[in-house]
Amino acid sequence: MTRPLTTLADIAALAGVTPATVSRALSGNTRISAATRGRVIEIAEQHGFRPNQTARNLRLGRTQAIAIVVPLGHQSAQRISDPFYTTMIGQLMDELARRDHAMLLSAVAPSDGGWLAQIARSGRADGIIVLCQSDQDAVLREAARSYRPLVVWGETEDEPYCCVGTDNKRGGKLSTMHLLAGGRRRIAFAGMMDTPELVARHDGYLEAHREAGVEPGPHIPVPFAFEAASRDLYAMLDRHPDIDGIVAASDMIAMKALHELSQRGRRVPNDVAVVGYDDVTVAAHMVPPLTTIRQDLTMAAALMVDLLFRRMQGEDAPSTRVPLSLIHRQSA
Amino acid sequence: MTRPLTTLADIAALAGVTPATVSRALSGNTRISAATRGRVIEIAEQHGFRPNQTARNLRLGRTQAIAIVVPLGHQSAQRISDPFYTTMIGQLMDELARRDHAMLLSAVAPSDGGWLAQIARSGRADGIIVLCQSDQDAVLREAARSYRPLVVWGETEDEPYCCVGTDNKRGGKLSTMHLLAGGRRRIAFAGMMDTPELVARHDGYLEAHREAGVEPGPHIPVPFAFEAASRDLYAMLDRHPDIDGIVAASDMIAMKALHELSQRGRRVPNDVAVVGYDDVTVAAHMVPPLTTIRQDLTMAAALMVDLLFRRMQGEDAPSTRVPLSLIHRQSA
DNA sequence: CGCGATCTTGTAATCGTTTGCGCACCTCGG
DNA sequence: CCGAGGTGCGCAAACGATTACAAGATCGCG
């Protein structure tokens, strides 16, 4: 089977000692005569021995693994490939590897409310990072009451769990102000308000308008996933030919917008200016390069992991916001 | 700690039975009186009990987890966010979830040759899927000799390990033929020949030219990762103003090409036609929408998982190729 | 040469589950 | 009323590692 050909006991037999001695020799820190240690280590290496992690973890009461959970509907495969998630996951992976922890990745359909408890109680991981609270605030609150090592990426408000995120409202406001400053007066908001993050971005959009004394433009309810019938939704563009700016709730939505505008022969940024959100890798390479709001995901990932490890040690790490800035390129 | 508040023994005490009985009651299949079973189940649910996976796995000699390994250099965070990987990972995630297995994701810097053995012997996973053989063919061959449950994504040749992939040579030939059929006569190949997959695509590119009796165009050595100095490399475009077609080794490279061409005022497809490779999600939404070679990653993921599980059961599943087709959009 | 200090290694318990085996108890036909 | 055959459940041994405790070996010193 998968079982390594050798166990601690096998090595012990070969070396003419007990498993205990082998364990000590390999872990190094206890007092073992140099001779035995040398012999044991040599035999172990010779046979490519690796201690069984499962047994080790059982004994040590930990798993050396962190679960990364993405709460999604059934379109998981589609949404998980959103560059935001993947960039974040890549960064988290690096950060966890640095701390010698494995990454257990799972997308869950949050239809049943027990998904988090399931993962938390199963003992598969020492801690959990949830990417995007989505509409699962209640579940998160509930879980946080009894489960400590939990960090969530999302909109940080007065939530009882540890949450890392950006000031989405400010982000939405920033991009809108940029368009207003550029003289745009008929600015649409593209994105669905189905998560706290996006609601906050929309709030910022509204606030910027209010402060500038400009009437907000129409709302284009584009879903995150491309495949959906967003083409129809973008027919909205035809119904509102006076739109001269678009605040997109994500870079992917912005990309979609660039595409649809191009299809309709409307030039960016001359006719319509577009601002994205996330600054995903491809943003800089779109046609035209996308002006967008950057969330520093490298810092975010490092921060989340750091907070998580502090919580795993019993500390009470607080929610934190990571900085955010507008990256000025050519689409607006 | 992370330890669930309740163990099998706790539940047993509460129900006035032994752990053995609880175990049986919960697993359901053994002979337990309906009364006891009901009582045990009720108490267990009431306390949100989940059996400890680590202990369970130790006893059962398995882990219910599959390791997905991406051999990369230190730029892991960057390359892992390539849409190809992420789409594949998303699909694999779904497929594994369907079989009730967790996914252990790790990127490794293959500097030391022991990376695969390390994962294989550690007993953290019941099987391994390696995404892209990259330049690790030797390591894979070596590992496959003693470790059975291993499936690799890559260029399938006469390798001794189980390998799933597309006919890259045919893919490269297909896209080149498409350009030739469209009357292009000065076709560049964009991509670095640093992996077997890309070498094969380039072979196809050459073969198509040979069969058509057309001289191959220049080679533009663009790396996979965006960030690199590809801008300089694309200066090649300036040096070869007669290029009228580009065969890109990946969609991301094609996207980069679209961008650079647009910067230089050369229109796609009128002046230069571009064909990508992978048909990643964003391909359809580029400006203009990208003509590309689609590898059916959904099928590929399902296949890889299927083969892996068969190997885990001791069967000897063979290398397989998944179909591939040209998706005709507007860039060529 | 004897005795305590020190160094090295073995013994055995433990982590939480699963499961083969066997012991009660119950039922029922003769 | 007794033994055969069934049920329902407990006992205890795994799985493979770690580690407190103890025991044996060795050494130093008086």
pLDDT tens-digit readout, B2-39: 344 689 999 999 999 999 999 999 987 768 888 899 99
| Statement to judge: residues B112 and B143 lie in one domain | yes
CB-based contact B307:B164 (threshold 8 Å): yes
Residue of chain A minimizing CA distance to B59: A55
Q: Which of B1, B54, B69 to mutate to test the interface with A (most CBs of A within 10 A)?
A: B54
Q: Is the CB of B62 under 7 A from strand C?
A: no
All residues at 6 or more sequence positions from A33 whose CB lies less than 8 Å from its CB, including other chains: none
| Statement to judge: residues B234 and B281 lie in one domain | yes
pLDDT tens-place string over residues A254-270: 988 998 898 888 998 99
Give the domain range for residue B288: 168-295
Smallest CA–CA separation between A211 and chain B, in Å? 35
Q: pTM surpassing 0.95?
A: no
Nearest to A61 among B3, B62, B93 (CB): B3
Least confident of B77-81, B123-127, B207-211, B322-326: B77-81
Chain B residues with beta carbon closer than 8 angstroms to that of A149: 2
| Statement to judge: residues A237 and A276 lie in one domain | yes
Q: With 80 as the cut, is the pLDDT of residue B253 above it?
A: yes
Q: Is residue B57 part of a domain?
A: no
pLDDT tens-place string over residues B70-91: 887 544 445 666 778 888 888 8
Q: Is the CB of B285 under 7 A from strand C?
A: no
Question: Which residue in the block uniquely carries the two structure tokens 């009128």?
Answer: B270
List the beta bridge partners of residue A274.
A246
Query: Using the beta-carbon criterion (under 8 Å), do B2 and A62 form an inter-chain contact?
Result: yes
Nucleotide with the nearest C1' to B59 CA:
D15
Q: What is the CATH number of the domain that holds B45?
A: 1.10.260.40
Nearest to B117 among A48, A58, A89 (CB): A48
| Statement to judge: residues A125 and A136 lie in one domain | yes
| Statement to judge: residues B198 and B280 lie in one domain | yes
| Strands B291-295 and B324-327, sheet pairing | antiparallel
Q: Is the CB of B4 under 7 A from strand C?
A: yes
Q: Tell me the mean pLDDT in the region A147-165.
A: 87
Cα angle for residues A68, B116, A51 (degrees, 5° grid): 80
Chain B residues with beta carbon closer than 8 angstroms to that of A93: 76-77, 80, 105-107
Q: Is residue A332 part of a domain?
A: no
The confidence score (pLDDT) of residue B3 equals 40
Per-residue confidence at A224, pLDDT binned at 50, 70, 90?
A: low
All residues at 6 or more sequence positions from A283 whose CB lies less than 8 Å from its CB, including other chains: A251, A254, A276, A289, A290, A292, A327, A329
| Statement to judge: residues A175 and A28 lie in one domain | no
> What is the domain count for chain B?
3
Nucleotides of C under 7 A from a protein CB: 7-12, 14-20
Helix A34-46 and helix A8-15, axial crossing angle in degrees, nearest 10: 120
Q: With 80 as the cut, is the pLDDT of residue B133 above it?
A: no
Distance from residue A20's CA to nucleotide D22's C1', rounded to whole Å:
14
Residue of chain A minimizing CA distance to B75: A94
All residues at 6 or more sequence positions from B197 whose CB lies less than 8 Å from its CB, including other chains: B132, B133, B154, B155, B165, B168
Chain B residues with beta carbon closer than 8 angstroms to that of A116: none
Q: Is the CB of A24 under 7 A from strand D?
A: yes
| Statement to judge: residues A242 and A318 lie in one domain | no
| Statement to judge: residues B119 and B104 lie in one domain | yes
Q: Is residue B181 part of a domain?
A: yes
List the beta bridge partners of residue A293.
A277, A326
Comparing every residue's Cα with the C1' atom of nucleotide C6, the nearest one is A31
Inter-CA distances, A191 with A27, A77, A248, A258, B84, Å = 54, 20, 6, 14, 25
Look over chain B and give the mean of its residue pLDDT values, rounded to a whole number. 87
CB-based contact A82:A254 (threshold 8 Å): no
Q: Is residue B60 part of a domain?
A: no
Query: Using the beta-carbon criterion (under 8 Å), do A103 and B106 form an inter-chain contact?
Result: yes
| Statement to judge: residues B192 and B291 lie in one domain | yes
Nucleotides of D under 7 A from a protein CB: 7-12, 14-20
A171 closest CA partner among A295, A280, A84? A295
Least confident of A138-142, A275-279, B3-7, B304-308: B3-7
Q: Is the CB of B61 under 7 A from strand D?
A: yes
| Statement to judge: residues A139 and A244 lie in one domain | no
CB-based contact B258:B306 (threshold 8 Å): no
| Statement to judge: residues A126 and A234 lie in one domain | no
Q: Is residue B188 part of a domain?
A: yes
Chain A residues with beta carbon closer than 8 angstroms to that of B51: 122
Q: Is residue B125 part of a domain?
A: yes
What the block records as the tokens of B90 is 């998303």
- Residue A326 burial class via C-beta count within 10 angstroms: exposed 0-12, middle 13-18, buried 19 and up: middle
Smallest CA–CA separation between B184 and chain A, in Å? 24
Q: Which of A285, A299, A309 to mutate to test the interface with B (most CBs of B within 10 A)?
A: A285
Chain A residues with beta carbon closer than 8 angstroms to that of B121: 4, 48-50
Q: With 90 as the cut, is the pLDDT of residue A206 above it?
A: yes
Chain A residues with beta carbon closer than 8 angstroms to that of B312: 2
State the Cα–Cα distance between residues A228 and B302, nearest whole angstrom: 23
CB-based contact A143:A159 (threshold 8 Å): no
Query: Using the beta-carbon criterion (under 8 Å), do A2 and B126 form an inter-chain contact?
Result: yes
CB-based contact B154:B163 (threshold 8 Å): yes
Per-residue confidence at A216, pLDDT binned at 50, 70, 90?
A: very high
B51 closest CA partner among B110, B10, B93, B94? B10
Q: Is the CB of A21 under 7 A from strand C?
A: yes
pLDDT tens-place string over residues A21-77: 999 999 877 678 888 999 999 999 988 899 999 999 999 999 999 999 988 754 444
Smallest CA–CA separation between A255 and chain B, in Å? 7
Q: What is the CATH number of the domain that holds B254?
A: 3.40.50.2300
